[in-house]
């Protein structure tokens, strides 16, 4: 239960398949990319990381081989810098590659070095998480950073995937050419009356290791879980995990509706996410 796990719910698998299709894109002067858009903590990073794990695999004989087979990294994952700045983005890539240069290094030289290493590593996809940081700064700064992103894509000739909150889509939409290159794939909030939500919660339950059934995939339990998490995937996972820990400690070995009522939530110190930053009365 403490280990992170992947649940391949329908929308996540669809978006993953869309991203993996990009991996087969041949080098081109104008490559189609995509943007994964969702509320904060709703599964964007998990999808990108899952794609990374599926494709960045060491050869099976890597540890035993005296010659150490050549390593390929088809998916290069990184986090966007905290402000929209082309050079800071490039510097972040160079740091991850362990080849950061002089602070005065020209932008074109940085991009040239990145391309050379990417070719050697067989990088086919650049995945940039936390693109919502591009909301920071003035409109002119955002515009310059977006143009830098477009130029980087043109130079590398590989597709990109960016993950951002909904507000990040506004940044993309401000530049029609950029928006056309990054069609959006959305991860909406979960709803209690949706069969996909019931299936997801049933999958959660199968990972908990409790001896007795909790029936998380029923409408009654789903309504309570959604009401206490705002329908955000990460919060749903955290709430269910905390309740499962309580069930194990108490010996109850199951989660029941009373655990999701105010008194039960107090016992695990759970506060509804939307209320966490309000001052106590």
Question: One digit per residue, pLDDT tens: the chain, 281 residues?
Answer: 566 678 999 999 999 999 999 998 887 777 889 999 999 999 999 999 999 999 998 776 666 666 666 789 999 999 999 989 999 999 999 999 999 999 899 999 999 999 999 999 999 999 999 998 788 778 888 888 888 888 998 899 999 999 999 988 888 888 888 889 999 999 999 999 999 999 999 999 999 999 999 999 999 999 999 999 999 999 999 999 999 999 999 999 999 999 999 999 999 999 999 999 876 65
pLDDT in tens, 55-103: 998 776 666 666 666 789 999 999 999 989 999 999 999 999 999 999 8
End-to-end CA distance of the chain: 35
Chain-wide mean pLDDT for the chain?
91
Query: Side-chain half-sphere of 272: how many Cα atoms within 13 Å?
Result: 13
Of residues 75, 68, 59, the one with CA closest to residue 16: 75
Rounded distance between C-alpha atoms, residue 174 and residue 186, angstroms: 18
Token output for 172: 């993309």
Model confidence, pTM: 0.91
Rounded distance between C-alpha atoms, residue 52 and residue 49, angstroms: 5
């Amino acid at each position: 239960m403490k280990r992170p796990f992947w649940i391949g719910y329908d929308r996540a698998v669809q978006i993953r398949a869309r991203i993996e299709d990009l991996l087969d894109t041949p080098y081109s002067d104008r490559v189609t990319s995509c943007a994964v858009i969702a509320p904060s903590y709703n599964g964007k990073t998990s999808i990108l990381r899952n794609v990374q794990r599926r494709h960045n695999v060491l050869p099976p004989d890597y540890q035993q081989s005296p010659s150490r087979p050549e390593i390929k990294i088809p998916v290069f994952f990184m986090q966007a810098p905290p402000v929209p700045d082309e050079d800071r983005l490039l510097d972040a890539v160079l740091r991850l590659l362990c080849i950061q240069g002089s602070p005065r290094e020209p932008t074109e030289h940085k991009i040239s070095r990145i391309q050379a290493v990417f070719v050697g590593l067989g990088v086919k996809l650049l995945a940039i998480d936390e693109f919502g940081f591009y909301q920071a700064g003035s409109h002119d700064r955002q515009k310059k950073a977006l143009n830098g992103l477009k130029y980087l894509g043109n130079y590398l000739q590989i597709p990109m995937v960016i993950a951002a909150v909904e507000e990040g889509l506004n940044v993309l939409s401000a530049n029609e050419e950029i928006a056309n290159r990054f069609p959006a794939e959305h991860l909406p909030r979960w709803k209690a009356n949706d069969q996909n939500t019931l299936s997801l919660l049933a999958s959660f339950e199968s990972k908990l290791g409790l001896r007795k059934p909790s029936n998380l995939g029923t409408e009654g339990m789903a309504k309570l879980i959604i009401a206490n998490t705002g329908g955000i995937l990460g919060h749903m996972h955290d709430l269910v995990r905390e309740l499962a820990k309580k069930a194990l400690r108490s010996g109850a070995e199951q989660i029941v509706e009373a655990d999701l009522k105010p008194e039960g939530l107090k016992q695990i110190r759970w506060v509804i996410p939307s209320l966490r930053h309000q001052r106590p009365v």
